[in-house]
A and B are shown apart, each in its own frame.
Chain A
């Protein structure tokens, strides 16, 4: 079954600290893995997209890693800010027919950054 599992479900950290969010997937055949940030009451915003051949990608203080062999990804946030408080969603796209309709979404990790 094609699934995306994220951990932890929620996380509280102090401003300025670093944190790492995890994503494990069983989606096959694999096309790409995406991380999105969703602020409360808003739509998700793309942070990174990684294909099979990429094992790391950065976007400012956000760094995503991908291990396609173990089917694991992580999102590392450096020097957290209050504005990083949001839900972070891991999304995996299947390869094949070219129909990109079915992206497999994880349930998200809710991050709260406290002053």
Chain B
């Protein structure tokens, strides 16, 4: 079946603009995660959804970042008033839920803020 799909694959935006990044998880996966990966760096946790609720938002770096999930499916990560330090690859992952289940990652959205 289809894997995790993210769109757009690349996004170039001007400093100060808002951007929306989309994630379509694997159908039936209840857990959904967003991560940020700066160039040459490891993955940085942003937010975790179980169903449509987000029990862990502790990784969101500022109030400019927000995310929602609807229908226990699609998730959108929104960055308001983008800054150059927001430039990174934003990765989404989903899993079937049990703690030992593997994460299935999308290929990410590469965001460049000019």
Residues of A within 8 A of B (CB): 31-32, 34, 36, 41-46, 49, 51, 89, 93, 95, 98-103, 105-108
Contact = CB atoms under 8 A, between A and B. Distances in A.
Most B CB atoms within 10 A — which of A36, A43, A105? A43
A38 to B, nearest CB: 8
Contacts of B41: 107
B43 A99 contact: no
B106 A43 contact: yes
Contacts of B50: 99
A47 B46 CA distance: 23
Given A93-B99, A105-B42, A100 B48 contact: yes
A89 B91 contact: no
Nearest to A46: B102
Please classify the interface of chain B as helix (H, G, I), strand (E, B), loop, or mixed, using the class held by over half of its residues.
Answer: strand
B101 to A, nearest CB: 8
A100 B97 CA distance: 8
Nearest to B54: A101
Nearest to A34: B102
Contact of B56 (A32, A99, A105): A99
B93 interface: yes
Given A100-B31, A100-B99, A45 B105 contact: yes
A43 B91 contact: yes
Contacts of A49: 100, 102
